Structures are given as C-alpha cells and as structure tokens.
Amino acid sequence: MLLRYHPWQEINDIQRQLERLFTDKIPNESLERELIKSPAAELKETDEAIYLRLELPGMSAKDLDIQVTKNSVSITGERKNSSHSQAEGVTKSEFFYGKFQRVIPLPSHVQNTQVVADYQDGILSLTLPKVQAEQNKVVKVNLG
C-alpha cells in the first residue's frame, strides 16, 4: 500500500498546536495572579533613612493599611470594582480587584514612630528614618 506524504498537513498540525499553546490558560495562573496582586516596590537606602515607594494605582488612601515595625513594612489594601454597569455587552478586564498584602523586609532597623508617608498619583512614598545606632554603624575589620 502506498501512502502519500503531505508535508503541509504536518505544518498545519504544528501551527494548531502552537496556537493552542498560546490560547489555553496558563497552568500557573494562580501564581501569575498572586504576582499581579502584589504592588511593585522601589527601595532606596541612605545613611540617614530608607525610602520606600509602592505603585498603587486607582487606590484611595482610606483603602490602605500600612504597618511599620523596626525591620519590615506591611501594606494591606483592597481595590474595589467601581464600574457596575447595567448596559449589555461583555467586559474583559485584566485589572485586579480584591485584597492584597505585601510585607517588605528592611535592610536596616528603622524608627517606626518617625515614619513620614505621602500618597500622590497612585504612588505611596514612605520615609523611614534609621535608628541612630544604625546610622553611625562602623565596623572595624582586622587583617590577620
């Protein structure tokens, strides 16, 4: 029996498999959603203080809870869905709505009673002054 070889059929099969790979749901979607929930942070350290900035677009200050210990900052919040439309149609959204929490360990001890916070344009800025002992911390290194 003689079978005809159809190379285009194999190419079409490979193309369908690739399309399915990119259109099927990601197996680790829950992990991806967890990463999306956590706000992006930027940390800068100087001799006097630690400056922490977090991206929290679309949040109001009353929906945020910020707690500072001597060695970490915890931010908890909830983004509420404000667009409840009765219009017909389908809405596809990649926005995350719901609760989130992020705990950021600090590289040095801070005076948690002296924290200064500012929230503008979706950016939370925290100035965390270092403990005096941390500011003047000098370590002598002996060679042999």
Residue with tokens 């404000």, as numbered in its chain: 82
Model pTM? 0.64
Strand partners, 64: 77
Give residue 80's pLDDT.
76
In which residue ranges of the chain is pLDDT below 50? 31, 35
Give residue 19's pLDDT.
79
Topology of the domain comprising 9-82+92-135: Immunoglobulin-like (2.60.40)
CA distances from 45 to 12, 14, 20, 48, 51 (A): 55, 51, 46, 8, 6
Give residue 72's pLDDT.
92
